[in-house]
Amino acid sequence: MTAILPLPPGSTLGILGGGQLGRMLAQAAAKLGFDVAILERETDAPAGRVAAHAIIGAYDDPLALNALAELADVVTFEFENVPAASVEALMALGVEVAPGPLALAVAQDRVDEKSFLNARGVATVAFAAADSPETAVAAAAAVGTPCLMKTRREGYDGKGQTWVEHAADAAKAFESLGARPVILEAAADFVRELSIIAARGRDGAIAVYPLAENHHEKGVLRRSVAPAEVSASAAEQAERIAARILTGLDYVGVIGIELFELKDGSLLVNEIAPRVHNTGHWTQDGCEVDQFEQHIRAVAGWPLGPTAARAQVEMLNLLGDEAAGWATYAAQPETRVHLYGKREAKPGRKMGHVNRILGSL
């Protein structure tokens, strides 16, 4: 059944994935009057506990997908590694899915992603693909060393990647990543990491948030500060990049775009994420409409909301046992606590985040 757009309150929105992003999307959808149906592989998932419906099953389980299609008027996803076949199956059942399959396909393969970006006039580091030890050595020599080797598919928070210091080391590095197809990326001589969160509505309207400055530790985002102090030129570059990507993908929803700022002030795109993004969590307490509500608005066919910043915010990820300090954070008047409801705190696992208000704007 084809959804009637804009989706009226009381409709049901489906989400593939039951983690923290799904949880915060479900909470934002409820605020706008929608019911939410979550499809997740595990019982007791964070998102399922705040949703009207929780379907337990694999993302490619035909019965689970049918159940979701029966409930949902529109479906979205919380992470980009859901099987493309699942999205196609839902669409074959007559369900509207946003963002669409092109965005998912591009984001799931790092070579396709950078090729798409370059074709749209968006700059990236030099890169080369490899699918054997021999081609890995040749690719490393082509892009120059040191270079970063990543698996073409999957991998996140620093997983599925390793540095190659000398071209001859690439064969061993290839084997260490499971002898799977890889991409080798030239090192970027950047001064800092930035990101932009942007959205595109079903009518083609585009809205962008102020840039964030991000700091990583061991491949995991540790903190973001936004709005970042950037030049007007950098802000204009980022907005232009976002518009080219969103339009090129015929995108609907919120997207996260990670950027490298070089010494000359130019920006390179590191990667894109076709979903709400960790570096956009600051918007929950810093903007008039946060990234989660914005995503719901977009996929539901509603007008996009304002993205102006009301305050400068420092977002800090709470990893593992750090979430046990919630009482300390809650006692700080300038700090807002966001916990994900995960039952087990594992080392390095994202258990929540806090937004510290640095000052009103």
- Domains (ranges, CATH) in the chain? 12-97 (3.40.50.20), 126-186 (3.30.1490.20), 190-360 (3.30.470.20)
HSE, CB side, 13 Å, CA atoms: give it for residue 264: 4
pLDDT of 218: 85
Q: What is the mean pLDDT of residues 245-273?
A: 97
Residue 157 pLDDT greater than 70, yes or no: no
pLDDT above 90: percentage of residues in the chain = 95
342 DSSP 8-state letter: -
Q: Which two tokens stand for residue 325?
A: 């300090």
pLDDT of 84: 87
C-beta atoms surrounding 168 within 10 Å: 12
Backbone angles phi, psi at 267, to 5 degrees: -115, 140
Q: What is the pLDDT of residues 176-188, one digit of tens each?
A: 999 999 999 999 9
pLDDT of 79: 92
pLDDT of 143: 98
Consecutive H or E run containing 64: helix 62-71
Q: What is the pLDDT of residues 8-35, one digit of tens each?
A: 999 999 999 999 999 999 999 999 999 9
Report the C-alpha gap between 69 and 98 in whole angstroms. 14
Consecutive H or E run containing 26: helix 20-31
* Beta-bridge partners for 35: 12
Q: Which two tokens stand for residue 162?
A: 């390793």
Report the C-alpha gap between 123 and 351 in whole angstroms. 34
HSE, CB side, 13 Å, CA atoms: give it for residue 205: 16
At 280, is the secondary structure helix, strand, or coil? helix
At 131, is the secondary structure helix, strand, or coil? coil
Q: What is the mean pLDDT of residues 146-161?
A: 86
Model-level pTM?
0.96
HSE, CB side, 13 Å, CA atoms: give it for residue 353: 25
- Grade residue 159 by pLDDT with cuts at 50, 70 and 90: confident
> What one-letter code names the amino acid at 148?
L
* Beta-bridge partners for 336: 355
Please tell me whether the peptide bond between 227 and the residue prior to it is cis, using omega within 30 degrees of 0.
yes
pLDDT of 149: 97
